[in-house]
């Protein structure tokens, strides 16, 4: 059989990789039909990986008696294995996300979307007015409400701003993740200055078409292990326990996940796993490690 040159396949793969890099750097509005095409592309590319693995295995068997086969051994094979494990983990996350039957922002679900925005606005506004008994939780709740009001129900509508409403739970969680990270780092004031400046620009800058402030978005895309903190777990749990649980109920089309931050912290910062696991059985232990600022809430006050 005539030898087939690998170069055209390498060029095609590089083009696909470059295209996807650009999509991730500056993601445009992607509609449901396009997402379906990307899913089919993922299946096609995974099938290609499977075929490459089969080719490597076949050639390895044929070359096993020669010294040339030594070149195919570690570390290259180890790199392939690690990459496959990484892709498998990400694919599982995507599969779990898609299986939740979330509704993307399109014309067919406009009524559901309006109801969802209204419900989130109601609960976030309530959270901003509650005295949680923890200063950091009060502060984070006000920040989330300001973000949601300014970005999704602004006084001046920006027709350039398009978004996928199904991302609301993730965006909300990562504001808390960012808040917790900067509190732990001692850079909370700087974080809030950038956050507030971005919010103020929404009314005047029609080119501001991002769903999140830059210092939250960059964390979502490129967080390090240490960015996932106990601070975020403790703050989110209190928000959820006192108010945000209303966005997990059956009448909410796109629900908040009460465990999303705890799971992320255990996954990315496993040194904290034992403490995170105690969040229900011994919540005071976790909260004492974080050293939040507690205050007394008067009886009959906001609840």
129 & 24 share domain: no
85 within a domain of the structure (yes/no): yes
pLDDT tens-place values along the chain, 303 residues long: 455 677 788 878 888 887 877 776 665 555 667 777 877 888 888 878 777 777 766 665 554 444 444 444 444 556 666 666 666 665 655 665 555 444 444 434 688 899 999 999 999 999 999 999 999 999 999 999 999 999 999 988 888 899 999 999 999 999 999 999 999 999 999 999 999 999 999 989 999 999 999 999 999 999 999 999 999 999 999 999 999 999 999 889 999 999 999 999 999 999 999 999 999 888 888 888 999 999 998 765 555
Last residue of a domain, one of 78, 98, 118: 98
Q: Has residue 296 been placed in a domain?
A: no
| 145 in the same domain as 238 | yes
Between the alpha carbon of residue 79 and those of residues 76, 89, 162, the distances in Å are 5, 15, 38
- Are residues 28 and 141 both part of a single domain? no
Domain boundary, last residue among 98, 123, 150: 98
Within a domain: residue 301?
no
Q: Has residue 302 been placed in a domain?
A: no
Q: Give Rg (Cα) of the chain.
A: 23
Considering the domain architecture, whether residues 124 and 234 belong to the same structural domain is answered as yes
Query: Considering the domain boundaries, does residue 298 fall inside one?
Result: no
Query: pLDDT tens digits for 6-59?
Result: 778 887 888 888 787 777 666 555 566 777 787 788 888 887 877 777 776 666
Beta bridge partners of 134: 294
In this structure, the answer to whether residues 20 and 114 fall within a common structural domain is no
- Bridge partners of 85, per DSSP, are none
Model pLDDT for residues 118-131, shown as the tens digit of each residue: 999 999 999 999 99
Q: What is the DSSP string of 223-291?
A: --GGGS-HHHHHHHHHHHHHTGGGGSSTT-SS---TTHHHHHHHHH-GGGHHHHHTTTTSHHHHHHHHT
Selection from 46, 73, 38 nearest residue 59 by Cα: 73
Same domain? For 87 and 122 the reply is: no
For the entire predicted model, the pTM comes to 0.66
Query: Does 134 lie in the same domain as 272?
Result: yes
- Among 98, 119, 140, give the residue marking a domain's end: 98
129 lies in the same domain as 250 = yes
Domain count, the chain: 2
116 and 20 within one domain: no
| DSSP per position, 127-166 | HHH---SBHHHHHHHHHHHHHHHHHHS-SS--TT----GG
CA distance 262 to 236: 9
* Domain housing 116: 107-290
């Amino acid at each position: 059989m005539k030898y087939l040159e690998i170069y055209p396949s390498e060029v095609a793969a590089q083009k696909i990789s470059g295209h996807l890099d650009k999509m991730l750097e500056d993601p445009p509005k992607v509609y449901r039909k396009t997402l379906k095409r990307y899913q089919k592309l993922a299946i096609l590319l995974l099938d290609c990986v499977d075929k490459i693995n089969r080719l490597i295995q076949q050639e390895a068997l044929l070359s096993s008696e020669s010294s040339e086969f030594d070149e195919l051994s570690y570390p290259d094979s180890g790199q392939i294995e690690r990459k496959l494990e990484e892709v498998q983990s990400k694919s599982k996350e995507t599969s779990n996300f898609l299986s939740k039957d979330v509704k993307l922002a399109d014309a067919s679900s406009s009524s559901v979307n309006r109801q969802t925005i209204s419900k989130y606005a109601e609960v976030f506004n309530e959270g901003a007015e509650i005295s949680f008994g923890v200063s950091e939780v009060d502060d984070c709740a006000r920040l989330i409400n300001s973000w949601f009001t300014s970005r999704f129900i602004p006084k001046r509508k920006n027709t350039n701003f398009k978004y996928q409403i199904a991302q609301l739970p993730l965006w909300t969680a990562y504001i808390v993740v960012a808040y917790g990270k900067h509190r732990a780092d001692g850079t909370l004031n700087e974080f809030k200055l950038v956050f507030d400046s971005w919010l103020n620009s929404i009314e005047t800058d029609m080119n501001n078409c991002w769903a999140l402030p830059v210092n939250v978005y960059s964390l979502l895309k490129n967080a390090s292990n240490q960015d996932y903190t106990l601070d975020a777990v403790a703050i989110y749990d209190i928000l959820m326990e006192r108010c945000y649980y209303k966005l997990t109920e059956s009448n909410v089309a796109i629900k908040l996940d009460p465990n999303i931050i705890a799971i992320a912290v255990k996954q990315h910062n496993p040194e904290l796993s034992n403490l995170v696991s105690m969040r229900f059985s011994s919540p005071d232990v976790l909260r004492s490690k974080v050293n939040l600022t507690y205050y007394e809430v008067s009886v009959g006050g906001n609840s």
